[in-house]
């Protein structure tokens, strides 16, 4: 059974970087959304194992997305990884308190993705 991953990022370059890092893993199905609203539409279509989400996005930002995912019992087992330029301990604490499982600072590299996936996936 494939692991379903949703990448939520407004930067096409960062989506590509995440996609390339994730493709090293066999059995991962990757869906992309360029903002929180597109992410909610994708989440309404089915279950995801992991959501990689930027915080600073137009329309619906990452914090609001985390809150919406955590408020929906359909996505109870979904792991959320924040991927952001934010370098504030307060922002990290807020994201984790809202229900994010990991906080990764940009620029993202393969080692960071490996560490997160080892921790989150069986």
Sorted by where each begins, the domain ranges of the chain are 3-120
- How large is the average pLDDT for residues 28-55? 95
Say what the pLDDT of residue 1 is: 62
pLDDT tens digits for range 61-119 = 999 999 999 999 999 999 999 999 888 899 999 999 999 999 998 888 888 888 888 88
Q: Tell me how far apart the alpha carbons of residues 1 and 13 are, in angstroms, rounded to a whole number.
A: 28
Q: Tell me how far apart the alpha carbons of residues 20 and 103 are, in angstroms, rounded to a whole number.
A: 19
pTM: 0.93
How high does pLDDT run on average in the chain? 91
Assess contact for 28 and 5: CB atoms under 8 A. yes
Confidence of residue 41 (pLDDT cuts 50, 70, 90): very high
CATH 3.40.50.300 for domain 3-120, yes or no, is no
């Amino acid at each position: 059974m494939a692991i379903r991953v949703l990448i939520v990022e407004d930067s096409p370059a960062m989506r590509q970087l995440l996609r390339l890092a994730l493709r090293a893993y066999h059995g991962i199905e990757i869906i992309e959304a360029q903002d929180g609203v597109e992410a909610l539409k994708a989440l309404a279509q089915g279950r995801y194992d992991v959501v990689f989400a930027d915080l600073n996005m137009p329309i619906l930002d990452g914090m609001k997305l985390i809150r919406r995912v955590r408020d929906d019992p359909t996505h109870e087992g979904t792991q959320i990884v924040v991927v952001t330029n934010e370098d504030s301990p307060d922002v990290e604490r807020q994201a984790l308190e809202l229900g994010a499982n990991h906080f990764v600072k940009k620029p993202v590299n393969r080692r960071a993705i490996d560490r997160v996936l080892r921790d989150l996936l069986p």
